């Protein structure tokens, strides 16, 4: 049976001398893999459409085990991501996060749209670090994590100074800091953005100008939370951290030159 699926390529792996196994997140069937025969050949009609990050429509022949990709029609190749090392690093991270937290057949329209929009924003030049933070916060539900971000996780207060507590699974106010001596202090700007990223609709993303110091706070809080509760080791995240350090060095050099 032939199926036409709207999908995004998450990753590929070699299958024989000339073929690829292409793993996609599809709108209709969730995560799905298919064999793309001859896709490793540069002149193959499937070569370009099976590149990671590519968004398009795929014609899959079903059967026992893996299906076979008969045809692919790219809608957006995400070429600007591929042409920029920093954009590639962020995109690779959110794609691997999607892949590692989703089983075959899982996904659905919400996750598909979240990934598609996130890649599109990065491709079109939005702040890749902020888009990635939003994606991470939106993905918490996918991995079964629901931190308390509306109020203090201990006493329920909504006013005051707040920090982030791994032990209490969310924000804690200054009245409850003693409950977790290892809480992460956060600025009011970082608190506001954590809440915003967790609750707001990605369609409303405009030009968000975030100070570098606040970005560092967001990265520290989100990374710490994922490390503690998700238990994921992602190669792309290690690469992303190296890229971020490299970016910081370049920015310091530019500041010194000015």
Edge to edge, what strands does the sheet with 170-173 contain?
Answer: 170-173, 162-165, 184-185
Between residues 141 and 164, the one the model is more confident about: 164
* Locus of tokens 């598909």: 112
Question: Quick one: which of 86, 100, 183, 194 has its CA closest to 138?
Answer: 194
Section 142-155 average pLDDT: 93
pLDDT at position 63 over 70: no
**C-alpha closest to that of 232 among 136, 131, 132, 105:** 136
Residue 111 has pLDDT above 80, yes or no: yes
Bridge partners (DSSP) listed for residue 61: 2, 68
What pLDDT is stored for residue 258 in this prediction? 59
Strand blocks (E) in the chain: 2-15, 19-26, 30-36, 55-61, 67-76, 162-165, 170-173, 184-185
* pLDDT at 19 > cutoff 70: yes
Mean pLDDT, to the nearest integer, of 210-226? 92
Please provide the average confidence, as pLDDT, over all residues in the chain.
91
Question: What per-residue confidence (pLDDT) applies to 80?
Answer: 96
Query: What are 75's two structure tokens?
Result: 């809608």
67: CB partners within 8 A, 6+ apart: 3, 32, 33, 34, 35, 60, 61
Sign of CA dihedral 161, 166, 168, 171: positive
What pLDDT does 143 receive?
Answer: 84
Domain with CATH 2.40.50.140 in the chain: 2-78
Residue 43 neighbours by CB distance under 10 Å: 6
Average pLDDT over residues 202-228: 87
Burial of 100 (0-12, 13-18, 19+ CB in 10 A): middle
Model confidence at 109: pLDDT above 70: yes
Alpha-carbon gap, residue 70 to 19, rounded angstroms: 12
Does residue 65 have a pLDDT over 80? Answer: no
pTM for this structure? 0.90
What angle (nearest 5°) sits at the alpha carbon of residue 96, between those of residues 91 and 102? 130
Of 63, 231, 237, give the one whose Cα is nearest residue 143: 231
Q: Cβ contacts of residue 120 below 8 Å, gap of 6+?
A: 55, 76, 78
The lowest-confidence range among 48-52, 87-91, 102-106 is: 102-106
**What's the pLDDT score for residue 78?**
96
- Are 203 and 117 within 8 A, CB to CB? yes
With bands split at pLDDT 50, 70 and 90, how would you rate the model's confidence at 142?
Answer: confident
Confidence bin at 107 (pLDDT 50/70/90): confident
Question: What kind and span of H or E run contains 222?
Answer: helix 212-229
CATH superfamily for 2-78 is Nucleic acid-binding proteins (2.40.50.140)
**Looking at 55-64, 155-164, 241-250, which range is the least confident one?**
241-250
pLDDT of 59 over the 70 cut: yes
Residue in 206, 200, 217 with CA at minimum distance from that of residue 137:
200
The rounded distance, in Å, linking the Cα atoms of 127 and 132 is 9
Range name among 155-159, 187-191, 198-202, 250-254 with the lowest pLDDT average:
250-254
pLDDT value of residue 243: 81
Q: Is the pLDDT of residue 20 over 90?
A: yes
Determine the pLDDT at residue 254: 66
Tell me which of 163 and 144 has the higher pLDDT: 163
């Amino acid at each position: 049976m032939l199926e036409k699926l709207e999908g995004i390529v998450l990753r590929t792996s070699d299958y024989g001398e000339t073929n690829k196994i292409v793993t996609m997140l599809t709108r209709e069937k969730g995560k799905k893999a298919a064999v793309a025969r001859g896709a490793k050949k540069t002149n193959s009609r499937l070569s370009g459409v099976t590149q990671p990050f590519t968004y398009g429509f795929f014609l899959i022949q079903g059967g026992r085990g893996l299906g076979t990709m008969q045809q692919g029609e790219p809608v957006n190749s995400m070429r600007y991501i591929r042409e920029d090392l920093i954009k590639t690093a962020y995109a690779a991270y959110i794609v691997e996060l999607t892949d590692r937290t989703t089983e075959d057949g899982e996904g659905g329209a919400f996750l598909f749209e979240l990934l598609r929009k996130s890649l599109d924003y990065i491709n079109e030049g939005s702040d890749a670090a902020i888009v990635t933070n939003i994606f991470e916060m939106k993905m918490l539900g996918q991995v079964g994590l629901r931190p308390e971000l509306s109020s203090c996780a201990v006493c329920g207060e909504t006013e005051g100074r707040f920090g982030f507590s791994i032990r209490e699974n969310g924000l804690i106010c200054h009245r409850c800091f003693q409950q977790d001596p290892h809480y992460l202090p956060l600025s009011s700007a970082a608190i506001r953005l954590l809440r915003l990223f967790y609750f707001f609709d990605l369609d409303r993303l405009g030009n968000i100008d975030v100070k570098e110091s606040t970005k560092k706070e967001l990265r520290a809080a989100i990374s710490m939370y994922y490390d503690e509760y998700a238990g994921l080791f992602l190669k792309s995240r290690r690469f992303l951290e190296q890229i971020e350090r490299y970016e910081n060095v370049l920015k310091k050099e530019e500041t010194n030159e000015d």
